[in-house]
A and B are shown apart, each in its own frame.
Chain A
């Protein structure tokens, strides 16, 4: 059984390099192979756009665009 949002993560990886050039640090929203056309400065705005496009009862991926995955330190 596939992990949740596994397909969406694959779509993100396909586009990661291009998006990191064009929209570094922005948030992107993906559901299956559909990508919300806008990029967002804030996570909350990306979530609201996902709700608007895909509905409230479906999970969708929100990823911040970086060339490599950052690892945040939690103390």
Chain B
């Protein structure tokens, strides 16, 4: 079992929320197959991701999806936010959490949209990932614990 702990202070107005490092790449078998025939793939970016229980899906910026050369599986996936309805693009990719010891997710549905305002993170980790974890927040110690 992997366990990862990190601090989060929900009472600090400067704290953007419970965040961890996140890496997304093309589906891992694509990379192995492509590498075997001489294709090159970009080194994965390692942005910060916000753990968001309010999102049913993992969402990244469109820029990151394009840079990572993810596989497009649906060009118009509608979602509703507090600001109104919008269309996301849907991709499949592999997700990992560098430095955490948490296991990689080999193939995951990832939505992509423009992140206009928020600069503290480039991804939302949604309930599609959280359903794989036991995640708890201890309000007294202000520590988030993830067990897989």
Give the interface of A toward B (CB within 8 A). 3-6, 9, 43-44, 47-48, 50-51, 56-57, 59-63, 69, 71-75
> B50-82, CB under 8 A of A: which get 1 and which 0?
001011110100000000000111111011111
Given the complex, which residues of A lie within 8 Å of B57, measured CB to CB? 72, 74
Q: In the complex, are the beta carbons of A62 and B90 less than 8 A apart?
A: yes
Instruction: Name the contact of B108 in the complex, choosing from A3, A44, A69 (C-beta under 8 A).
Output: A44
Given contacts A47-B107, A71-B78, contact A59 B71 (CB under 8 A): yes
Q: In the complex, are the beta carbons of A56 and B80 less than 8 A apart?
A: no
Instruction: Tell me the dominant secondary structure on chain B's binding face.
Output: strand
* B33 CB within 8 Å of chain A: yes
Q: Which of the four size classes fits the interface of chain B? A: 20 to 34
Given the complex, which residues of B lie within 8 Å of A61, measured CB to CB? 73-74
* B109 CB within 8 Å of chain A: yes
Given contacts A62-B90, A71-B78, A74-B79, contact A47 B27 (CB under 8 A): yes
* Nearest CB of B to A34, in Å: 15
Q: Across the interface, name the chain A residue whose C-beta is closest to B34.
A: A56
* B92 CB within 8 Å of chain A: yes
* B40 CB within 8 Å of chain A: no
Q: In the complex, are the beta carbons of A71 and B85 less than 8 A apart?
A: yes
Given the complex, which residues of A lie within 8 Å of B73, measured CB to CB? 47, 50, 59-62
Q: In the complex, are the beta carbons of B75 and A5 less than 8 A apart?
A: yes
Q: Bound state CA distance, A65 and B72, in angstroms?
A: 18
